[in-house]
Structure 1
Amino acid sequence: MTDPIKTRRDGAILEVKLDRPKANAIDLATSRAMGEVFADFRDDPELRVAIITGAGEKFFCPGWDLKGAAEGDAVDGDYGVGGFGGLQELRDLNKPVVAAVNGICCGGGLEWALSADIILAANHATFALPEIRSGTVADAASVKLPKRIPYHIAMELLLTGRWFDAEEARRWGIVNHVHPADQLMDKAWDMARLLASGPPLVYAAIKEIVRDAEDSNFHDTMNRITKRQLATVDSLYASEDQHEGARAFAEKRDPVWKGR
């Protein structure tokens, strides 16, 4: 067996490629390995942005490995530190993640993509939440989708399990941009480089504020921000980067972010 997770590191960017023929499905062991990769990414101060994608041209990820389940993998088994796919339950991941959806993206694979902050798709990519047809629930998607796209559209996708193409995914805001397949990874790296050039402490604060706001009302979250009760906001306001941003503006030059 070859390693199902291929990584490529270039400066502050980490590319994580799911490579598990034939379809890039995720079993328990793969999910645990993915969790370790993303936890290391989270904890490495030299890394600022991650790209996730699938190997090949046909599949991004179909989600849960039903063959593995048939051979004994329990659907409620140990997925590892980050939950299924290593991302969706990983605590304190305050760095941007870009998904490059290069093909079929369904079930838990779509939930994995939804764990990213920005989603790019190849123009031939297709999407679905077909769990209903196998007698189970798309649990993470049931939590996320109705908050991100119109309720009735989310419910249609969840209740019917129908397939939809990349342009429809873009229209509903499930993906940010659609690109020709041969340009997808270049566009993903362009996006990652843009993010890697930005202020990491600000990104961290943005991600923590967004998470906090999911379970809170506007005034409560704003109160925690102004009182510096969110760790990333407190770090940002006391940082060298905060002063560097102001100096660079006054001096009419590009800021040099140090992440401290």
Structure 2
Amino acid sequence: MSPEATVETRGAVLVVTIDRPEVRNAVNTATARAIGAAMERLDTDDTVRVGVLTGAGGTFSAGMDLKAFLAGERPSVPGRGFAGLVEAPPAKPLIAAVEGFALAGGFEIALACDLIVAAENAWFGLPEVRRGLMAGGGGLLRLPRRVPLGTAAEWALTGDRIDAARAHAAGLVNRLTPPGGALAVALSLASRIAENGPLAVRATKRVLGEGGQWPAEEAFARQNAIYEPVRSSEDAREGASAFTEKRDPVWRGR
């Protein structure tokens, strides 16, 4: 835990809150390190299976802290990139719970998450072109995978702000909530994921993330290399036993 981000567990869910509401949760170096450390914990702590990332004070994140940048800070972590996240998201699922603004680097943080839950008054956008810059934190790489290419091009080239309803209609946002309700819905969604076999969940996320880049003739071979350890795991046998015995499975992650 650091002053820039708080970390707490709620059952099997790790909740990370960017806690700089006085600057709309803009990310400085300390914030990036705190988020990076939380992502490392998410992947190495067997007691947590899903992460939720949100912001304090009714805002997700306004992106990079420009004052800190002008003072010489680089709000990134070696190997993980901006915000300690965008270049190396966790292997476990991560859900963004968005209230208020998720702009510029803040939008890129949300795009690095697997699912997005947003309040109806949330706003998204990559306004970098309006400042003579390019969105270099993964937004241009990830956005076309989440919405149609033409839609992604319009949003990125105009730098327009996109309201939550439009983002939901485009398929970017998984759940819309009343203002103030994003975290609760994200936690509910995270709990549903956490009920499933942890090995299977991680493997599923990996194939979803990597599969689109595999050559067609290699796709099943590469998938099978990920699938086989899951299929032969203790958890797979436990899942089958629990189903036939009409009980809840007890996952061991092996």
Which category of TM-score, normalised to the shorter sequence, fits these structures?
over 0.9
* CA deviations over 1:145-180 (Å, ceiling 9, x no partner): 122211111111111100111000101111111100
> 1:120: how far off?
0.3
Give, in whole Å, the separation in 1 of the partners of 2:187 and 2:205. Answer: 21
- Contact conserved, 1:94 with 1:203, CA < 8 A, in 2? no
Where do 5+ consecutive residues of structure 2 fail to align?
Answer: none
Where do 5+ consecutive residues of structure 1 fail to align?
Answer: none
* CA deviations over 1:75-125 (Å, ceiling 9, x no partner): xx753442112222226x321111100111111101100111111001111
> 1:238: how far off?
2.4
Deviates more, 1:6-15 or 1:120-129: 6-15
**Residue 11 (structure 2) pairs with residue 17 (structure 1):** no
CA RMSD of aligned residues (A): 1.7
- In the other structure, the counterpart of 1:54 is 55
- In the other structure, the counterpart of 2:222 is 224
Letter paired with 1:37: A
Greater than 4 Å deviation, 4+ residue runs: none
**Residue 233 (structure 2) pairs with residue 235 (structure 1):** no
Structure 1 residues 43, 154: closer, same or farther in 2, change over 3 A? same
Give, in whole Å, the separation in 2 of the partners of 1:126 and 1:89. Answer: 23
**Residue 45 (structure 2) pairs with residue 44 (structure 1):** yes
Deviates more, 1:79-88 or 1:106-115: 79-88
- Percentage of matched positions with identical amino acids: 38
- Contact conserved, 1:35 with 1:80, CA < 8 A, in 2? no
Give, in whole Å, the separation in 1 of the partners of 2:182 and 2:143. Answer: 24
> 1:42: how far off?
0.9
SS at match of 1:62: coil
1:95 to 92, 104, 108: 92
1:166 to 164, 167, 175: 164
* CA deviations over 1:175-220 (Å, ceiling 9, x no partner): 1111002322221111111111111111111122123313213431
Give, in whole Å, the separation in 1 of the partners of 2:78 and 2:17. Answer: 18
- Contact conserved, 1:5 with 1:18, CA < 8 A, in 2? yes
- Contact conserved, 1:18 with 1:53, CA < 8 A, in 2? yes
Give, in whole Å, the separation in 2 of the partners of 1:145 and 1:82. Answer: 19
Give, in whole Å, the separation in 2 of the partners of 1:126 and 1:78. Answer: 24
How do 1:146-225 residues align onto structure 2 when only pairs under 5 Å count?
Answer: 146-225=144-223
Structure 1 residues 197, 78: closer, same or farther in 2, change over 3 A? closer
Letter paired with 1:83: G
- Contact conserved, 1:82 with 1:89, CA < 8 A, in 2? yes
Give, in whole Å, the separation in 1 of the partners of 2:195 and 2:76. Answer: 36
* CA deviations over 1:49-94 (Å, ceiling 9, x no partner): 111000011x2101111111222225xx753442112222226x32
1:249 to 235, 239, 243: 243
1:131 to 117, 128, 132: 128
Deviates more, 1:33-42 or 1:108-117: 33-42
Letter paired with 1:136: L
Q: How many residues align?
A: 251
Give, in whole Å, the separation in 1 of the partners of 2:83 and 2:60. Answer: 12
How do 1:111-130 residues align onto structure 2 when only pairs under 5 Å count?
Answer: 111-130=108-127
